[in-house]
């Protein structure tokens, strides 16, 4: 079931439901090598969202800025490999949305506990905005905020639940977006949190 949100953005409701157990199992392996951490923004704030990465490149933030880096600053080693289950899901979702041969080189994993939020921002750290971004929601539901190319543009609210996949490309790629503070709850597959996988071709 593919629902267009705005031109270039497609919601695949429940696309990852069947594969969620395999994705969460593979995530355990990633976390064993590169555990959750709260990054610091260039402004000096600790992010409420906990993060890790897998694949050749990982998104990092610290006092010096945002960037993609091949090395996990937490352990000085390359980020763990992107599990095959991750790569297959990202490719299948991109195809279903009309983007052929999507080969992500970065997977940012975000963990939201109750109260955690991601304020309105643009994703501008990637080399080529022509590639889509595939995002997978697991666990507790969240309200996604989706605005326009300008930060002041009116934003719409979109509830995202366990198994939902959204593919963002074309004109939607540079729109502002964020996540409202997570409501408390308990999910059978993740417990008291929401996990979001974001696949990108960053380099």
Interacting residues toward ligand MD3 by CB under 6 A: 108, 110, 118, 123, 133, 135, 166, 168, 172-173, 175, 177, 179, 196, 198
Pair of tokens at residue 148 = 């326009």
**138 contact choice in ligand MD3, Fe ion, none (CB below 5 to 8 Å, kind-dependent):** none
8 Å CB contact between 78 and 70:
yes
* Min separation Cβ 164 and ligand MD3, Å: 10
Applying CB under 5 A, the residues found at the interface with Fe ion are 123
What is the distance, to the nearest Å, from the Cα of residue 27 to the centroid of all Cα atoms in its chain? 13
8 Å CB contact between 137 and 194:
yes
Closer to ligand MD3 at the Cβ: 76 or 79? Answer: 79
Closer to Fe ion at the Cβ: 123 or 164? Answer: 123
**34 contact choice in Fe ion, ligand MD3, none (CB below 5 to 8 Å, kind-dependent):** none
**108 contact choice in ligand MD3, Fe ion, none (CB below 5 to 8 Å, kind-dependent):** ligand MD3
The candidate with the shortest Cα–Cα distance to 198, out of 151, 133, 144, 138, is 133
Closer to ligand MD3 at the Cβ: 78 or 178? Answer: 178
* Min separation Cβ 87 and ligand MD3, Å: 18
Which residue in the shown chain puts its C-beta closest to Fe ion?
Answer: 123
Under 8 Å CB-to-CB from 178, ≥6 apart: which residues? 117, 118, 119, 120, 121, 144, 145
Q: DSSP secondary structure string, 49-88? A: SEEEEESSBEEEEETTEEEEESEETTTTEEPPPPPHHHHH
* Min separation Cβ 124 and Fe ion, Å: 9
The candidate with the shortest Cα–Cα distance to 2, out of 96, 91, 95, is 96
Closer to ligand MD3 at the Cβ: 46 or 76? Answer: 46
* Min separation Cβ 184 and ligand MD3, Å: 17
Closer to ligand MD3 at the Cβ: 34 or 196? Answer: 196
* Min separation Cβ 51 and ligand MD3, Å: 8
CB-CB neighbours of 19 under 10 Å: 17
């Amino acid at each position: 079931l593919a629902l267009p949100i705005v031109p270039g953005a497609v919601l695949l409701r429940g696309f990852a439901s069947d594969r969620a157990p395999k994705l969460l199992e593979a995530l355990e392996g990633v976390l064993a090598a590169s555990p959750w951490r709260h990054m610091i923004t260039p402004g000096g704030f600790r992010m409420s969202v906990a993060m890790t990465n897998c694949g050749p490149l990982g998104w990092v933030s610290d006092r010096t800025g945002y960037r993609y880096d091949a090395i996990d600053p937490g352990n000085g080693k390359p980020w763990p490999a992107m599990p095959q289950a991750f790569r297959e899901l990202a490719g299948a979702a991109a195809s279903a949305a009309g983007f052929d041969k999507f080969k992500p080189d970065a997977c940012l994993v975000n963990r939201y506990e109750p109260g955690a939020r991601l304020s309105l921002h643009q994703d501008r750290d990637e080399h080529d905005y022509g590639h889509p971004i595939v995002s997978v929601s697991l666990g507790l539901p969240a309200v996604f905020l989706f605005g326009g190319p300008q930060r002041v543009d009116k934003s719409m609210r979109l509830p995202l639940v366990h198994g939902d996949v959204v593919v963002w490309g074309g004109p939607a790629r540079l729109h502002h977006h964020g996540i409202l503070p997570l409501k408390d709850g308990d999910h059978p597959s993740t417990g008291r949190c929401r996990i979001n996988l974001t696949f990108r071709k960053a380099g």
